[in-house]
Amino acid sequence: MTESNKPPLAVFDLDNTLADTAHRQRFLERKPRDWDAFFAAAPQDPPIEEGVAMARASGAECEVVYLTGRPERCRRDTLDWLLAHGLPEGRVYMRRNDDRRPARGTKLEILNRLSRTRDIRVLVDDDELVCEDAERAGFTVVRARWTAPSAALKSAQEREGRT
């Protein structure tokens, strides 16, 4: 049963939805992948205006929450980035540091948990597999197609459970 006295949730992914990761893709294109450098560079991500504008607009009618495949160890940098770029305050759901499941599994699990007590108005994400699974589960999805897809990031999300 949902809490009807609370606004619906608008759920936003971070990487390549709100934050442009293009400048740090190089760390995933080498072998072995340099995950520490990839995540250490996240505070320098430029904001993606389409996604940021959508998050800000969603804050007028919804409670904005963030659902990312980033590991928990990146929480402080992530919160600082959101604040620095004027995004709405909201809970941030992150992957446990040792969780290597595909992003679509971890994100759908959290969406299902959130939907038990709250109405979810929309999920905004760039990962096609996350979007497909969320739609199959009955969620309304907006595909964040405002950056060029990265094969290295897709592999990281699905095969290596890293972001």
| Tens of pLDDT, residues 118-148 | 999 999 999 999 999 999 999 999 999 988 7
Q: Note the pLDDT of residue 30.
A: 84
Alpha carbons 110 and 156: distance in angstroms, whole number = 19
**3-class secondary structure, 65:** strand
Q: Hey, which bits of 72-150 come out as E strands?
A: 92-95, 120-125, 141-143
pLDDT of residue 101: 74
Residue ranges, the chain, pLDDT below 50: 1
**120 pairs with which residues across the strands?**
9
Q: What pLDDT is recorded for position 134? A: 96
End-to-end CA, the chain: 31
